């Protein structure tokens, strides 16, 4: 039969925080250094969350390396075990989630769903048809520009339609194709 845990880490409604109890003495514990300091010295303890979930935690030492924490809870006559990791990774929030998980795995808060990607914008430029009229229409020009004017207009359209700037890839391809076509006509 396993030995009884001599320490208890429990939520105190009087103190509105966690307290460690050992015999008749108790002291407050928070997520800062006091929890880590205490966990470095303890090998086993009983845990009780603010919602009343309980479990027993034990530090098990492996052949190589330090101790690793495991949570145990008897549910419906069976012992459930959950790996928690090294002391430095434990927080009060993790202990609350694990105590709840051992009783009801579905009740544990799930991570929020991944944000939906922004809706895909549709191409706004007309398609390029390998003609001078098509290239001029894409660039918003009526006549063949000078080299300098073409470069400035290309930079403006690139800033507007580049995917990294919120534009659509197909529009940027159209801008590049029209630029490559028009640069053969400029002087």
Predicted TM-score (pTM) of this structure:
0.53
Is residue 108 one of the residues assigned to a domain? no
Residues 13 and 67 in one domain: yes
Q: Using pLDDT thresholds of 50, 70 and 90, give the confidence band for residue 1.
A: very low
Share of the chain above pLDDT 70, in %: 91
Q: Which 3-state string (H, E, C) describes 38-77?
A: HHHHCCEEEEECCCCCEEEEEEEECCCCCEEEEEEEEECC
* Side-chain-side CA neighbours of residue 37 (13 Å): 9
Residues 157 and 90 in one domain: no
Q: Which of 56, 46, 3 is nearest to 21 (CA)?
A: 46
Residues 57 and 145 in one domain: no
Average pLDDT, the chain: 84
Q: Which of 180, 170, 171 is nearest to 132 (CA)?
A: 180
Max Cα distance, the chain (Å) = 93
Residues 50 and 93 in one domain: yes
Segments forming the whole domain that contains residue 15: 7-103
Is residue 140 one of the residues assigned to a domain? yes
Share of the chain above pLDDT 90, in %: 25
Please indicate whether residue 139 or residue 27 has the higher confidence score (pLDDT).
Answer: 139
Q: Using pLDDT thresholds of 50, 70 and 90, give the confidence band for residue 186.
A: confident
Strands 44-48 and 7-12, by their bridges, are parallel
Helix/strand/coil percentages in the chain, nearest 5: 35, 25, 40
Residues 69 and 15 in one domain: yes
CB 178 within 8 A of CB 184: no
Q: How many domains does the chain have?
A: 2
Looking up residue 178, the CATH number of its domain turns out to be: 1.10.287.110
Is residue 28 one of the residues assigned to a domain? yes
Which DSSP string corresponds to 137-187?
A: HHHT-SSPPPHHHHHHHHHHHHHHH-GGGT--HHHHHHHHHHHHHHTTT--
């Amino acid at each position: 039969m396993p030995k009884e845990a001599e320490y208890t880490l429990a939520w105190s409604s009087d103190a509105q925080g966690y307290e460690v109890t050992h015999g008749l003495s108790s002291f407050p514990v928070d997520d800062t250094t006091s929890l880590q300091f205490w966990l470095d010295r303890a090998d086993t303890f009983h845990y009780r969350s603010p919602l009343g979930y309980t479990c027993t935690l034990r530090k098990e030492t492996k052949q190589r390396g330090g101790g690793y924490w495991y949570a145990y809870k008897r549910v419906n006559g069976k012992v459930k075990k959950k790996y928690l990791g090294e002391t430095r990774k434990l927080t009060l929030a993790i202990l609350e989630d694990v105590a709840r998980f051992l009783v009801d795995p579905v009740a544990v808060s799930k991570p929020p769903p991944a944000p939906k990607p922004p809706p895909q914008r549709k191409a706004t430029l007309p398609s390029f048809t390998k003609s001078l009229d098509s290239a001029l229409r894409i660039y918003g020009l009526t006549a063949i520009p000078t080299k300098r004017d073409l470069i400035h207009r290309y930079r403006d359209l690139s800033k507007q339609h580049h995917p990294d700037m919120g534009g659509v890839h197909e529009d940027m391809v159209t801008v590049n194709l029209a630029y490559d076509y028009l640069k053969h006509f400029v002087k």
